[in-house]
Amino acid sequence: MSLTTIVGIAALRARLDAERASGRTVGFVPTMGYLHAGHASLMARARGETDVVIVSIFVNPLQFAPSEDLAAYPRDLAADTALAEAEGVDVLFVPTETEMYPDGVVRTNVSVAQVSAGLEASTRPTHFDGVATVVAKLLAIVGTCRAYFGEKDFQQIAVVRRMVRDLSLPVEVVACPTLRDPDGLALSSRNIYLLPAERAAAPVLHAALLAGRMAIDAGEVNPAKVRALVADLINAEPLAHLDYAEVVDAETLQAVDPLVGELRLLAAARFGKARLIDNIAAGS
């Protein structure tokens, strides 16, 4: 089956309703475009587990703060289409902003308490309301499906999982491992902003998180010591400007003291124009 590009919500619903009526399952990969190998891995996972794979490309204005440049977000629809086609995607959903928000004003806001607080929200307080609102809308449009998200945006997955559970949406959220370059840097559309020296420095994020996990594996249960270890390693890189380094419960994203159970180490830092995030699992 060849790739079909759809712009309209009604047309997409009609296509997917027909697919499900014929007994076919739907896999959905929501993105903001500028696709890379990390996105391709989500498409491949969906291709292997479902009958019809849909990828959405929509740069959502609701999740950009006034200080963030929405217009500067990288876009390349031709390259995105080629990548999706190469991965065997069936439908590329590329709605306009007018199609998604016809009135130009969104009066309904989806907010997920607790898991959307702290971490990314500390510097981007409106971000996850924008994410939850657009993802709820996209899932309502797509309908019953398996939805695939990359673990690099771990807090986003926690927000979406809680929203899906609380709203009883007919969706299975599938978290997929972060893809990395050989030196450990997590693949991200924002890596394009890194200058050569910044690109060389950026793997310090992953290296610091690994050091934190090694400390936990060695028996460290004091969260302050683990946070300090990760932060100190990142701060030792002159081109890195730390936003946060945290260790939290992997499900609730709340602080844990002492460190027991399933944990997640997360960090964010700026390297020039690029703000990068990363995380890894830790604990039992």
Catalytically active residues are 39
How far is the C-alpha of 12 from the C-alpha of 100, rounded, in Å? 13
Strand partners, 280: 265
Give the CA count within 13 Å in the CB-facing half-sphere of 196.
0
Residue 166 in tokens? 């609380």
Residues 30 and 106: beta-carbon distance below 8 Å: no
Q: What are phi and psi of 275, to 5 degrees?
A: -105, 115
In angstroms, the CA 115 to CA 136 distance is 16
Cβ atoms of residues 80 and 34 within 8 Å: yes
